[in-house]
Structure 1
Amino acid sequence: MMSFLQNNGSELLSKMGEHFLISFLALALGTVVAVPLGIFLTRSEKVSKYVIGFVSILQTVPSLALLALMIPLFGVGKLPAIVALFIYSLLPILRNTYIGILGVRPDIVDSAKGMGMTNQQQIWQVKVPLAAPVIMSGIRLAGVYVIAWATLASYIGAGGLGDYIFNGLNVYDQEMIVWGTIPVTILALFTDFILGKVEQIVTPTTSSEKGAKS
Protein backbone atom coordinates (compact mmCIF):
# COMPACT_ATOMS: atom_id res chain seq x y z
CA MET A 1 0.00 0.00 0.00
CA MET A 2 2.69 2.49 1.03
CA SER A 3 4.77 1.70 -2.04
CA PHE A 4 1.91 2.88 -4.24
CA LEU A 5 1.79 6.13 -2.29
CA GLN A 6 5.56 6.61 -2.62
CA ASN A 7 5.50 6.00 -6.37
CA ASN A 8 2.33 7.99 -7.13
CA GLY A 9 2.20 10.60 -4.36
CA SER A 10 2.51 13.68 -6.59
CA GLU A 11 -0.05 12.35 -9.07
CA LEU A 12 -2.42 11.53 -6.21
CA LEU A 13 -2.20 15.11 -4.93
CA SER A 14 -2.88 16.37 -8.45
CA LYS A 15 -5.96 14.13 -8.71
CA MET A 16 -7.16 15.38 -5.32
CA GLY A 17 -6.74 18.95 -6.51
CA GLU A 18 -8.77 18.23 -9.66
CA HIS A 19 -11.45 16.48 -7.64
CA PHE A 20 -11.71 19.33 -5.15
CA LEU A 21 -11.77 21.99 -7.88
CA ILE A 22 -14.62 20.29 -9.78
CA SER A 23 -16.60 19.81 -6.58
CA PHE A 24 -15.97 23.32 -5.27
CA LEU A 25 -17.00 25.04 -8.50
CA ALA A 26 -20.18 22.94 -8.76
CA LEU A 27 -21.11 23.61 -5.12
CA ALA A 28 -20.35 27.33 -5.39
CA LEU A 29 -22.45 27.62 -8.54
CA GLY A 30 -25.27 25.66 -6.89
CA THR A 31 -25.19 27.95 -3.85
CA VAL A 32 -25.19 31.13 -5.95
CA VAL A 33 -28.23 29.91 -7.92
CA ALA A 34 -30.23 27.96 -5.32
CA VAL A 35 -30.12 30.38 -2.37
CA PRO A 36 -31.60 33.42 -4.20
CA LEU A 37 -34.03 31.12 -6.02
CA GLY A 38 -35.17 29.58 -2.73
CA ILE A 39 -35.74 33.04 -1.28
CA PHE A 40 -37.70 34.11 -4.34
CA LEU A 41 -39.91 31.00 -4.24
CA THR A 42 -41.14 31.85 -0.74
CA ARG A 43 -43.23 34.57 -2.36
CA SER A 44 -45.36 32.10 -4.34
CA GLU A 45 -46.40 28.72 -2.98
CA LYS A 46 -47.82 27.63 -6.33
CA VAL A 47 -44.65 28.43 -8.30
CA SER A 48 -42.46 26.88 -5.60
CA LYS A 49 -44.21 23.53 -5.92
CA TYR A 50 -43.49 23.37 -9.65
CA VAL A 51 -39.87 24.54 -9.39
CA ILE A 52 -38.92 22.33 -6.43
CA GLY A 53 -40.77 19.43 -8.07
CA PHE A 54 -38.79 19.93 -11.29
CA VAL A 55 -35.47 20.09 -9.43
CA SER A 56 -36.49 16.95 -7.52
CA ILE A 57 -37.05 15.15 -10.83
CA LEU A 58 -33.58 16.18 -12.01
CA GLN A 59 -32.19 14.64 -8.83
CA THR A 60 -33.65 11.26 -9.78
CA VAL A 61 -31.78 11.07 -13.11
CA PRO A 62 -28.98 8.48 -12.75
CA SER A 63 -25.56 10.08 -12.40
CA LEU A 64 -23.99 8.37 -15.41
CA ALA A 65 -27.00 9.17 -17.57
CA LEU A 66 -26.85 12.85 -16.63
CA LEU A 67 -23.12 12.97 -17.35
CA ALA A 68 -23.74 11.34 -20.72
CA LEU A 69 -26.44 13.92 -21.51
CA MET A 70 -23.91 16.70 -20.88
CA ILE A 71 -21.53 15.46 -23.57
CA PRO A 72 -23.55 16.63 -26.65
CA LEU A 73 -23.98 20.04 -25.01
CA PHE A 74 -20.54 20.68 -23.50
CA GLY A 75 -18.27 17.94 -24.87
CA VAL A 76 -16.00 16.03 -22.51
CA GLY A 77 -13.81 17.27 -19.68
CA LYS A 78 -14.37 19.32 -16.56
CA LEU A 79 -17.12 21.64 -17.84
CA PRO A 80 -19.83 19.00 -18.36
CA ALA A 81 -18.90 17.41 -15.02
CA ILE A 82 -19.25 20.75 -13.22
CA VAL A 83 -22.63 21.40 -14.86
CA ALA A 84 -23.92 17.92 -13.96
CA LEU A 85 -22.72 18.21 -10.35
CA PHE A 86 -24.22 21.70 -10.15
CA ILE A 87 -27.60 20.24 -11.09
CA TYR A 88 -27.27 17.60 -8.37
CA SER A 89 -26.32 20.23 -5.76
CA LEU A 90 -29.45 22.30 -6.34
CA LEU A 91 -32.14 20.33 -4.49
CA PRO A 92 -30.76 20.24 -0.91
CA ILE A 93 -29.71 23.90 -1.04
CA LEU A 94 -32.93 25.08 -2.69
CA ARG A 95 -35.21 23.10 -0.38
CA ASN A 96 -33.39 24.11 2.81
CA THR A 97 -33.34 27.77 1.78
CA TYR A 98 -37.08 27.66 1.07
CA ILE A 99 -37.86 25.88 4.35
CA GLY A 100 -35.50 28.08 6.35
CA ILE A 101 -36.96 31.36 5.11
CA LEU A 102 -40.54 30.19 5.65
CA GLY A 103 -39.58 28.96 9.11
CA VAL A 104 -38.69 32.41 10.43
CA ARG A 105 -41.14 33.27 13.21
CA PRO A 106 -43.97 35.58 12.05
CA ASP A 107 -43.70 37.78 15.15
CA ILE A 108 -40.07 38.59 14.28
CA VAL A 109 -41.11 39.52 10.74
CA ASP A 110 -43.93 41.69 12.15
CA SER A 111 -41.42 43.44 14.40
CA ALA A 112 -39.22 44.15 11.39
CA LYS A 113 -42.23 45.60 9.55
CA GLY A 114 -43.04 47.73 12.59
CA MET A 115 -39.52 49.15 12.48
CA GLY A 116 -40.21 50.33 8.93
CA MET A 117 -38.03 47.82 7.11
CA THR A 118 -38.69 47.28 3.42
CA ASN A 119 -39.27 43.78 2.02
CA GLN A 120 -35.66 43.61 0.85
CA GLN A 121 -34.37 44.68 4.25
CA GLN A 122 -36.59 42.11 5.97
CA ILE A 123 -35.17 39.37 3.74
CA TRP A 124 -31.47 40.19 3.98
CA GLN A 125 -31.29 41.65 7.48
CA VAL A 126 -33.80 39.43 9.29
CA LYS A 127 -34.94 36.31 7.42
CA VAL A 128 -31.66 35.19 5.82
CA PRO A 129 -29.57 35.55 9.03
CA LEU A 130 -32.16 33.62 11.04
CA ALA A 131 -32.51 30.96 8.33
CA ALA A 132 -28.72 30.71 7.83
CA PRO A 133 -28.24 27.51 9.92
CA VAL A 134 -30.90 25.68 7.88
CA ILE A 135 -29.46 26.99 4.62
CA MET A 136 -25.94 25.96 5.62
CA SER A 137 -27.09 22.45 6.52
CA GLY A 138 -28.37 22.12 2.95
CA ILE A 139 -25.05 23.37 1.58
CA ARG A 140 -23.15 20.91 3.80
CA LEU A 141 -25.28 18.03 2.56
CA ALA A 142 -24.84 19.11 -1.06
CA GLY A 143 -21.08 19.43 -0.54
CA VAL A 144 -20.72 15.84 0.65
CA TYR A 145 -22.93 14.59 -2.18
CA VAL A 146 -21.01 16.50 -4.83
CA ILE A 147 -17.61 15.20 -3.69
CA ALA A 148 -18.91 11.62 -3.73
CA TRP A 149 -20.55 12.00 -7.15
CA ALA A 150 -17.48 13.72 -8.62
CA THR A 151 -15.78 10.32 -8.79
CA LEU A 152 -18.06 9.47 -11.73
CA ALA A 153 -16.78 12.51 -13.64
CA SER A 154 -13.74 10.52 -14.75
CA TYR A 155 -16.03 8.68 -17.19
CA ILE A 156 -16.24 11.85 -19.29
CA GLY A 157 -12.59 12.83 -19.00
CA ALA A 158 -12.90 15.29 -16.13
CA GLY A 159 -10.09 13.67 -14.13
CA GLY A 160 -10.11 13.55 -10.35
CA LEU A 161 -9.87 10.62 -7.98
CA GLY A 162 -12.40 8.64 -10.00
CA ASP A 163 -9.57 7.90 -12.44
CA TYR A 164 -7.86 5.77 -9.81
CA ILE A 165 -11.07 4.03 -8.74
CA PHE A 166 -12.29 3.05 -12.19
CA ASN A 167 -8.86 2.28 -13.62
CA GLY A 168 -8.31 0.06 -10.60
CA LEU A 169 -11.59 -1.72 -11.25
CA ASN A 170 -10.66 -2.25 -14.90
CA VAL A 171 -7.31 -3.85 -14.12
CA TYR A 172 -8.29 -5.39 -10.76
CA ASP A 173 -5.73 -3.26 -8.89
CA GLN A 174 -6.85 -3.08 -5.25
CA GLU A 175 -4.22 -0.52 -4.24
CA MET A 176 -5.40 1.88 -6.93
CA ILE A 177 -9.02 1.51 -5.78
CA VAL A 178 -8.11 2.06 -2.13
CA TRP A 179 -5.99 5.13 -2.81
CA GLY A 180 -8.74 6.55 -4.97
CA THR A 181 -11.38 5.95 -2.30
CA ILE A 182 -9.58 7.11 0.86
CA PRO A 183 -8.88 10.67 -0.39
CA VAL A 184 -12.52 11.04 -1.50
CA THR A 185 -13.62 10.18 2.04
CA ILE A 186 -11.08 12.60 3.51
CA LEU A 187 -12.23 15.39 1.18
CA ALA A 188 -15.88 14.77 2.08
CA LEU A 189 -15.14 14.82 5.83
CA PHE A 190 -12.93 17.91 5.47
CA THR A 191 -15.60 19.76 3.48
CA ASP A 192 -18.31 18.85 6.00
CA PHE A 193 -16.05 20.02 8.85
CA ILE A 194 -15.24 23.38 7.22
CA LEU A 195 -18.85 24.05 6.25
CA GLY A 196 -19.89 23.05 9.79
CA LYS A 197 -17.58 25.76 11.14
CA VAL A 198 -19.10 28.25 8.71
CA GLU A 199 -22.55 27.19 9.93
CA GLN A 200 -21.51 27.94 13.52
CA ILE A 201 -20.21 31.36 12.50
CA VAL A 202 -23.40 32.40 10.66
CA THR A 203 -25.75 31.04 13.33
CA PRO A 204 -27.24 34.01 15.22
CA THR A 205 -26.55 34.12 18.94
CA THR A 206 -29.70 34.60 21.01
CA SER A 207 -29.90 36.96 23.95
CA SER A 208 -30.21 34.03 26.36
CA GLU A 209 -27.03 32.48 24.97
CA LYS A 210 -25.22 35.81 25.35
CA GLY A 211 -26.38 36.02 28.97
CA ALA A 212 -25.20 32.47 29.65
CA LYS A 213 -21.75 33.26 28.26
CA SER A 214 -21.43 36.42 30.32
Structure 2
Amino acid sequence: MVTLETILSHTADHLVLVVLTLIISICISMPLAFGSLYNKRFGYVVIKFANLAQAVPSFAVVAIVVPLMGIGFYPAVVAILLRALLPIIKNTYIGLSTVDPSMLDYADGIGLNEWQILRYVRLPNAYPAIFAGIKFAFILINSIAILTAYIGSGGLGELIFQGLVAFNNEKILAGAIPAILIAIAFDIIFTRIEKKLTPQYRK
Protein backbone atom coordinates (compact mmCIF):
# COMPACT_ATOMS: atom_id res chain seq x y z
CA MET A 1 0.00 0.00 0.00
CA VAL A 2 1.25 3.48 -0.89
CA THR A 3 0.78 5.86 2.02
CA LEU A 4 -0.42 9.44 1.65
CA GLU A 5 2.84 10.62 3.19
CA THR A 6 4.82 8.85 0.45
CA ILE A 7 2.66 10.36 -2.30
CA LEU A 8 2.95 13.87 -0.83
CA SER A 9 6.72 13.53 -0.44
CA HIS A 10 7.21 12.43 -4.05
CA THR A 11 4.77 15.10 -5.26
CA ALA A 12 6.76 17.78 -3.44
CA ASP A 13 10.02 16.54 -5.01
CA HIS A 14 8.34 16.50 -8.42
CA LEU A 15 7.03 20.05 -7.99
CA VAL A 16 10.47 21.34 -7.01
CA LEU A 17 11.97 19.76 -10.12
CA VAL A 18 9.35 21.00 -12.60
CA VAL A 19 8.92 24.50 -11.17
CA LEU A 20 12.67 25.11 -10.92
CA THR A 21 13.18 23.85 -14.47
CA LEU A 22 10.33 26.01 -15.78
CA ILE A 23 11.74 29.14 -14.11
CA ILE A 24 15.21 28.47 -15.54
CA SER A 25 13.67 27.78 -18.97
CA ILE A 26 11.85 31.10 -18.95
CA CYS A 27 14.93 33.00 -17.70
CA ILE A 28 17.04 31.53 -20.53
CA SER A 29 14.44 31.61 -23.31
CA MET A 30 13.17 35.17 -22.91
CA PRO A 31 16.54 36.93 -23.41
CA LEU A 32 17.31 34.62 -26.34
CA ALA A 33 13.97 35.47 -27.95
CA PHE A 34 14.47 39.20 -27.37
CA GLY A 35 17.98 38.99 -28.83
CA SER A 36 16.67 37.08 -31.84
CA LEU A 37 14.14 39.84 -32.48
CA TYR A 38 16.83 42.49 -32.94
CA ASN A 39 19.61 40.37 -34.47
CA LYS A 40 18.56 38.05 -37.29
CA ARG A 41 21.87 36.17 -37.44
CA PHE A 42 21.76 35.53 -33.70
CA GLY A 43 18.12 34.48 -34.03
CA TYR A 44 18.98 32.02 -36.81
CA VAL A 45 21.58 30.32 -34.59
CA VAL A 46 19.27 30.25 -31.56
CA ILE A 47 16.31 28.75 -33.44
CA LYS A 48 18.53 26.18 -35.18
CA PHE A 49 20.01 25.05 -31.86
CA ALA A 50 16.58 24.92 -30.20
CA ASN A 51 15.15 22.94 -33.12
CA LEU A 52 18.07 20.52 -32.95
CA ALA A 53 17.60 19.97 -29.21
CA GLN A 54 13.87 19.47 -29.75
CA ALA A 55 14.42 16.94 -32.53
CA VAL A 56 16.42 14.60 -30.28
CA PRO A 57 14.16 12.03 -28.53
CA SER A 58 13.66 12.67 -24.82
CA PHE A 59 15.24 9.40 -23.72
CA ALA A 60 18.26 10.11 -25.94
CA VAL A 61 18.68 13.53 -24.30
CA VAL A 62 18.68 11.87 -20.88
CA ALA A 63 21.17 9.26 -22.12
CA ILE A 64 23.52 11.97 -23.45
CA VAL A 65 23.42 13.98 -20.23
CA VAL A 66 24.32 11.04 -17.96
CA PRO A 67 27.88 10.44 -19.29
CA LEU A 68 28.57 14.18 -19.16
CA MET A 69 27.06 15.07 -15.77
CA GLY A 70 26.23 11.81 -14.02
CA ILE A 71 22.90 11.11 -12.38
CA GLY A 72 20.75 12.98 -9.91
CA PHE A 73 18.67 16.12 -9.65
CA TYR A 74 20.81 18.65 -11.54
CA PRO A 75 21.58 16.42 -14.54
CA ALA A 76 17.82 15.88 -14.75
CA VAL A 77 17.24 19.65 -14.80
CA VAL A 78 19.70 20.02 -17.71
CA ALA A 79 18.10 17.14 -19.65
CA ILE A 80 14.63 18.64 -19.24
CA LEU A 81 15.86 22.14 -20.14
CA LEU A 82 17.17 20.97 -23.48
CA ARG A 83 13.65 19.87 -24.41
CA ALA A 84 11.74 22.78 -22.88
CA LEU A 85 13.54 25.77 -24.40
CA LEU A 86 12.20 25.64 -27.96
CA PRO A 87 8.46 26.24 -27.30
CA ILE A 88 9.16 29.33 -25.17
CA ILE A 89 11.83 30.74 -27.49
CA LYS A 90 9.82 30.13 -30.65
CA ASN A 91 6.46 31.36 -29.35
CA THR A 92 7.98 34.42 -27.69
CA TYR A 93 9.84 35.33 -30.88
CA ILE A 94 6.74 34.83 -33.03
CA GLY A 95 4.58 36.83 -30.62
CA LEU A 96 7.02 39.74 -30.50
CA SER A 97 7.74 39.81 -34.23
CA THR A 98 4.16 39.58 -35.56
CA VAL A 99 2.71 42.65 -33.86
CA ASP A 100 0.58 44.80 -36.18
CA PRO A 101 3.04 47.13 -38.02
CA SER A 102 0.60 50.04 -37.72
CA MET A 103 0.82 49.82 -33.93
CA LEU A 104 4.61 49.91 -34.12
CA ASP A 105 4.49 52.90 -36.48
CA TYR A 106 2.13 54.71 -34.13
CA ALA A 107 4.36 53.99 -31.12
CA ASP A 108 7.38 55.22 -33.04
CA GLY A 109 5.47 58.29 -34.18
CA ILE A 110 4.63 59.39 -30.64
CA GLY A 111 8.31 59.14 -29.69
CA LEU A 112 8.60 55.81 -27.86
CA ASN A 113 12.09 54.30 -27.89
CA GLU A 114 12.80 50.62 -28.60
CA TRP A 115 12.61 49.60 -24.94
CA GLN A 116 9.28 51.39 -24.48
CA ILE A 117 7.89 49.84 -27.67
CA LEU A 118 8.96 46.42 -26.44
CA ARG A 119 7.42 46.95 -23.01
CA TYR A 120 4.18 48.71 -23.90
CA VAL A 121 3.40 47.45 -27.41
CA ARG A 122 5.16 44.23 -28.33
CA LEU A 123 4.96 42.38 -25.00
CA PRO A 124 1.25 42.96 -24.22
CA ASN A 125 0.27 41.84 -27.71
CA ALA A 126 2.63 38.84 -27.56
CA TYR A 127 1.28 37.46 -24.27
CA PRO A 128 -1.10 34.88 -25.86
CA ALA A 129 1.75 33.39 -27.91
CA ILE A 130 4.18 33.56 -24.98
CA PHE A 131 1.80 31.82 -22.60
CA ALA A 132 0.98 29.18 -25.21
CA GLY A 133 4.72 28.44 -25.38
CA ILE A 134 5.06 28.35 -21.60
CA LYS A 135 2.08 26.01 -21.24
CA PHE A 136 3.45 23.64 -23.86
CA ALA A 137 6.91 23.79 -22.26
CA PHE A 138 5.38 22.88 -18.91
CA ILE A 139 3.66 19.86 -20.46
CA LEU A 140 7.08 18.71 -21.73
CA ILE A 141 8.77 19.45 -18.41
CA ASN A 142 6.13 17.62 -16.41
CA SER A 143 6.27 14.54 -18.63
CA ILE A 144 10.06 14.38 -18.99
CA ALA A 145 10.43 14.85 -15.23
CA ILE A 146 8.74 11.44 -14.95
CA LEU A 147 11.33 9.96 -17.30
CA THR A 148 14.31 11.49 -15.47
CA ALA A 149 13.41 9.52 -12.36
CA TYR A 150 15.28 6.78 -14.20
CA ILE A 151 18.50 8.75 -13.57
CA GLY A 152 17.78 9.57 -9.95
CA SER A 153 15.84 12.83 -10.06
CA GLY A 154 13.20 11.46 -7.70
CA GLY A 155 9.63 12.69 -7.75
CA LEU A 156 6.51 11.00 -9.05
CA GLY A 157 8.42 9.18 -11.77
CA GLU A 158 10.14 7.15 -9.07
CA LEU A 159 6.77 5.81 -7.91
CA ILE A 160 5.74 5.02 -11.48
CA PHE A 161 8.96 3.15 -12.27
CA GLN A 162 8.75 1.22 -8.99
CA GLY A 163 5.20 0.26 -9.93
CA LEU A 164 6.19 -0.81 -13.43
CA VAL A 165 9.04 -2.98 -12.17
CA ALA A 166 6.88 -4.64 -9.50
CA PHE A 167 3.72 -4.80 -11.66
CA ASN A 168 2.09 -2.73 -8.92
CA ASN A 169 -0.81 -0.74 -10.37
CA GLU A 170 -1.35 1.10 -7.10
CA LYS A 171 2.13 2.63 -7.26
CA ILE A 172 1.75 3.46 -10.93
CA LEU A 173 -1.49 5.33 -10.26
CA ALA A 174 -0.04 6.97 -7.13
CA GLY A 175 2.57 8.55 -9.38
CA ALA A 176 0.51 9.14 -12.51
CA ILE A 177 -2.60 10.75 -11.01
CA PRO A 178 -0.76 13.55 -9.12
CA ALA A 179 1.30 14.26 -12.28
CA ILE A 180 -1.91 14.66 -14.28
CA LEU A 181 -3.44 16.91 -11.61
CA ILE A 182 -0.30 19.06 -11.57
CA ALA A 183 -0.51 19.50 -15.34
CA ILE A 184 -4.17 20.55 -15.13
CA ALA A 185 -3.57 22.90 -12.19
CA PHE A 186 -0.69 24.71 -13.88
CA ASP A 187 -2.64 25.07 -17.12
CA ILE A 188 -5.43 26.80 -15.17
CA ILE A 189 -2.93 29.01 -13.32
CA PHE A 190 -1.19 30.12 -16.52
CA THR A 191 -4.52 30.79 -18.24
CA ARG A 192 -5.64 33.04 -15.38
CA ILE A 193 -2.33 34.94 -15.36
CA GLU A 194 -2.60 35.39 -19.13
CA LYS A 195 -6.11 36.82 -18.81
CA LYS A 196 -4.93 39.32 -16.20
CA LEU A 197 -2.03 40.48 -18.38
CA THR A 198 -3.51 40.38 -21.88
CA PRO A 199 -5.17 43.66 -22.96
CA GLN A 200 -8.21 42.13 -24.71
CA TYR A 201 -9.13 40.16 -21.58
CA ARG A 202 -8.99 43.28 -19.39
CA LYS A 203 -11.59 45.21 -21.40
User: TM-score with structure 2 length normalisation?
Assistant: 0.94
1:42 to 37, 45, 48: 37
Secondary structure of 1:42's match? helix
RMSD: 1.6
For the residues of structure 2 that align with 1:145 and 1:201, how far apart are their CA atoms?
A: 24
Structure 1: runs of 5+ lacking an equivalent: none
8 Å contact kept, 1:144–1:191:
no
One-letter amino acid of the counterpart of residue 119, structure 1? E
Task: Work out the number of aligned pairs and report it.
Answer: 203
After superposition, the C-alpha distances for 1:1-40 in whole angstroms (9 at most, x for unaligned) are xxx3xx5110110101111111111111111111121121
Q: Does 1:87 align with 2:82?
A: yes
1:56 to 26, 46, 51: 51
Q: Does 1:139 align with 2:151?
A: no
Structure 2: runs of 5+ lacking an equivalent: none
Q: Does 1:111 align with 2:135?
A: no
Structure 1 residue ranges, 4+ long, deviating more than 3 angstroms after superposition: 44-47
Alignment partner, residue 96 of structure 1: 91
Shift of 1:133: 1.6
For the residues of structure 2 that align with 1:183 and 1:127, how far apart are their CA atoms?
A: 37
8 Å contact kept, 1:137–1:199:
no
Name the % identity: 36
8 Å contact kept, 1:97–1:134:
yes
Shift of 1:72: 3.3
**Which of these two proteins has the greater Rg computed from alpha carbons?**
1
Alignment partner, residue 183 of structure 1: 178
One-letter amino acid of the counterpart of residue 135, structure 2? R
8 Å contact kept, 1:34–1:93:
yes
Q: Does 1:78 align with 2:73?
A: yes
For the residues of structure 2 that align with 1:43 and 1:31, how far apart are their CA atoms?
A: 19
Shift of 1:87: 1.6
After superposition, the C-alpha distances for 1:50-75 in whole angstroms (9 at most, x for unaligned) are 32122111012222221222223332
User: TM-score with structure 1 length normalisation?
Assistant: 0.89
